[in-house]
Amino acid sequence: MTDTFSGIPGSVAEGKGHGRGLNESALRVLRKRFPDSSDPVLEWLPPRPDWTSGLNDIAVLEREIARLRRTPGAKIVLYGHDDMDGITGLFVGLRILRGEGLTAIPVIPNRATENYGILPERMEGLLAAGDLLLTVDSGCSAVEGVQWAVDRGAGVVITDHHTLNPPLPPADALIDPQLSGFPATVLAGCGVLYAVLTEIFPVWEDDAQLLAAVALGTISDRVPLLAWNRYLLDRFGGIDTSRLTEGMRHLLEVWPNRTGAWSASTVRQQITSVIGKGYNSGIHRILDFMFCDRREPCLDEWNEMLDWSETRAQLLSELLNRAMQSKDPQADAFGMILVHLDEIPPGMGGTLASKLSRIYRRGSIVVTQRPDGTLVGEARSVGDWDMARFLVSLRKVFTSAGGHVRAAGFSADGMGWPQLRDLLISHMSGFPTSPVPEPHIDLELPVLPSAADLAVLAPFGPDFPPPAVKVNGMRYLLQLNSGGPNWCISEDSGE
Ligand SMILES: [Mn+2]
């Protein structure tokens, strides 16, 4: 049987052009994964999105930027988030806005010492009347911080991708794909700002630095590798690397098999976790690193981050041992990994939850107590468990809660661990989800197809795992090793 799919757009061919000449096995996998689509190839790798169809109020930001140009001395305070899609989002914002002759000053919050949100104390003395507060990857719940900026006479445009949790902040514009739904919701914080700013300044659309930063932020944030994100990653696959900064060049040099078939999990291992976040991490240095144009200092800095990441990895493996020994048996019965540990360093709870999710192939919630008594939780999910919705639906008992489908967090004051534990378990018992996903199978065949034939569908990651094939009752998962693609007998999802 021959399949023909029409309408492969020219813009795709400018990237890696995976949409062209897909072999029969790859086409069958796409048909299985997008059963309702009349054109699974386009569903898998769409043409250039119309960003305005999923991102509202870009015109408000355009007007604000025009207003700044008419206001002598006015500047943009670009407020980010101290994780990879936040920092790469800051990079995107600074590169474009400064490149357009505007004054832009970054603010990087610090999760080790600060609450989540837009904090007036970080803007005091910095944000003046007539300025613009622009956020990336943060702010969709920052009612007080935004009101503070508005009261000071600043314009405020929020760009975020996290689940909305009303009341919404009183900004001039709230640009969040959660307002419009799929496919825009796949975007990470950096992807949202890239889309918004390149819509206003199209000359930046093909910029290799920006596409590389967006790819790294997107992969690190565990958002679905579907739809608009695949378009962005395809553009990344086709960038001209001859004119990168030394910092960015180095990141692409350590990117596992960047010019071939790669998986998000290996990129997170080789790059994201080396940078880390929170305690003893490189997250506060990586913005300068990406702008750095001197090779030697970049290499020194990277080696230092590698040393730190080894120290963190040791600490993490100790924490992981304790977590595995103390996971809650009652929560287990509902398909939820629930762990409460004392003294988890800031930023490490999320990494620990990720590891637990990977090991047990189900959603994980890791809770610790801050010195001030507040209980803080980090959660990761796999399968169809929408972690942000799960936690936000408990917001009456939480001080704050937010995130997205696969990565979310909360804080809770005024209750002890036993009470919070009961609450999470009883809420889980009534929450509609299948927290323990079945290992996927794309094809059942009499003989294994060539691994290379299916590797053309890479990159693989959240919501687009490597293909799995069943042959004679055995499940084979595609693996992308340094030696090239091959098959491995496994029940793993490969995400
Ligand atoms: Mn973020």
* pLDDT, mean of residues 77-104: 97
* pLDDT, mean of residues 203-215: 98
* pLDDT, mean of residues 107-113: 84
Distance from Cα 362 to the centre of ligand 1, integer Å: 22
- pLDDT top residue among 1 and 313: 313
Distance from Cα 253 to the centre of ligand 1, integer Å: 24
Question: Could you tell me the pLDDT band of residue 383, with boundaries at 50, 70 and 90?
Answer: confident
Distance from Cα 83 to the centre of ligand 1, integer Å: 5
* pLDDT, mean of residues 32-58: 97
Which of the residue ranges 368-372, 458-462, 466-470 would you say has the lowest mean pLDDT? Answer: 368-372
Distance from Cα 453 to the centre of ligand 1, integer Å: 35
Any bridge partners for residue 400, and if so which?
411
Distance from Cα 200 to the centre of ligand 1, integer Å: 23
Question: Could you tell me the pLDDT band of residue 20, with boundaries at 50, 70 and 90?
Answer: low
400 with 371, same domain: the answer is: yes
Q: Is the pLDDT of residue 225 over 90?
A: yes
* pLDDT, mean of residues 100-115: 88
17 with 120, same domain: the answer is: no
Distance from Cα 187 to the centre of ligand 1, integer Å: 11
Residue 234 lies in a domain: no
Distance from Cα 118 to the centre of ligand 1, integer Å: 13
Q: Which of 197, 229, 261 is the last residue of a domain?
A: 229
Q: Are strands 443-444 and 468-471 parallel, antiparallel or unpaired?
A: parallel
Q: Work out the angle at residue 281's Cα, subtended by the Cα atoms of residues 251 and 106, and round it to the nearest 5 degrees.
A: 75
Range of the domain at 15: 10-47+438-489
162 with 83, same domain: the answer is: yes
* pLDDT, mean of residues 331-352: 92
Distance from Cα 14 to the centre of ligand 1, integer Å: 29
Say if residues 86 and 107 touch (Cβ distance below 8 Å): no
Question: Could you tell me the pLDDT band of residue 331, with boundaries at 50, 70 and 90?
Answer: very high
Cβ-Cβ contacts under 8 Å for 42 (sequence gap 6 or more): 5, 7, 8, 9, 19
Distance from Cα 192 to the centre of ligand 1, integer Å: 11
Helix locations, 135-226, DSSP H: 143-151, 189-200, 208-220
- pLDDT top residue among 447 and 494: 447
Residue 2 lies in a domain: no
Distance from Cα 52 to the centre of ligand 1, integer Å: 22
Question: Could you tell me the pLDDT band of residue 21, with boundaries at 50, 70 and 90?
Answer: confident
Q: Which among 460, 456, 410, 346 is positioned nearest to 24, based on CA atoms?
A: 456
Question: Could you tell me the pLDDT band of residue 347, with boundaries at 50, 70 and 90?
Answer: confident
Q: Which pLDDT value is given to residue 10? A: 34
Cβ-Cβ contacts under 8 Å for 482 (sequence gap 6 or more): 256, 257
395 with 468, same domain: the answer is: no
Distance from Cα 309 to the centre of ligand 1, integer Å: 20
Locate 245 and state its tokens.
């900064």
Residue 303 lies in a domain: yes
Distance from Cα 32 to the centre of ligand 1, integer Å: 32
Q: What is the pLDDT of residues 421-464, one digit of tens each?
A: 999 999 999 898 888 888 999 999 999 999 999 999 999 999 99
Residue 289 lies in a domain: yes
* pLDDT, mean of residues 403-430: 93
- Where residue 75 sits, what CATH number does that domain have? 3.90.1640.30
- Where residue 363 sits, what CATH number does that domain have? 3.10.310.30
96 with 173, same domain: the answer is: yes
Distance from Cα 85 to the centre of ligand 1, integer Å: 5
Which of the residue ranges 104-118, 165-179, 242-256, 306-320 would you say has the lowest mean pLDDT? Answer: 104-118
Distance from Cα 484 to the centre of ligand 1, integer Å: 32
Which of the residue ranges 263-267, 281-285, 347-351, 459-463 would you say has the lowest mean pLDDT? Answer: 347-351
Distance from Cα 458 to the centre of ligand 1, integer Å: 24
Q: Is the pLDDT of residue 346 over 90?
A: no
* pLDDT, mean of residues 335-360: 92
CA distance 159 to 210: 17
Q: Which pLDDT value is given to residue 88? A: 98
Q: Which pLDDT value is given to residue 198? A: 98
29 with 81, same domain: the answer is: no
Residue 4 lies in a domain: no
- pLDDT top residue among 323 and 117: 323
* pLDDT, mean of residues 376-381: 94
Helix locations, 49-181, DSSP H: 58-70, 84-99, 120-123, 143-151
Q: Which pLDDT value is given to residue 279? A: 78
357 with 455, same domain: the answer is: no
* pLDDT, mean of residues 183-189: 98
Which of the residue ranges 27-41, 125-139, 241-255, 480-494 would you say has the lowest mean pLDDT? Answer: 480-494
311 with 178, same domain: the answer is: no
CA distance 462 to 3: 27
The domain total for the chain is 4
Residue 103 lies in a domain: yes
Q: Which of 319, 337, 357 is the last residue of a domain?
A: 319
Q: Amino acid letter at 14?
A: E
215 with 168, same domain: the answer is: yes
Locate 307 and state its tokens.
């040393």
Distance from Cα 447 to the centre of ligand 1, integer Å: 43
Q: Is the pLDDT of residue 12 over 90?
A: no
CA distance 410 to 376: 6
81 with 183, same domain: the answer is: yes
> What is the pLDDT of the chain when averaged over all its residues?
92
Cβ atoms < 10 Å from Cβ of 167 = 8
Phi, psi (degrees; rounded to nearest 5) at 465: -75, 165
* pLDDT, mean of residues 151-180: 96
75 with 186, same domain: the answer is: yes
175 with 73, same domain: the answer is: yes
Residue 86 lies in a domain: yes
CA distance 232 to 211: 7
Q: Which of 207, 229, 251 is the last residue of a domain?
A: 229
* Predicted TM-score (pTM) above 0.85: yes
Distance from Cα 19 to the centre of ligand 1, integer Å: 30
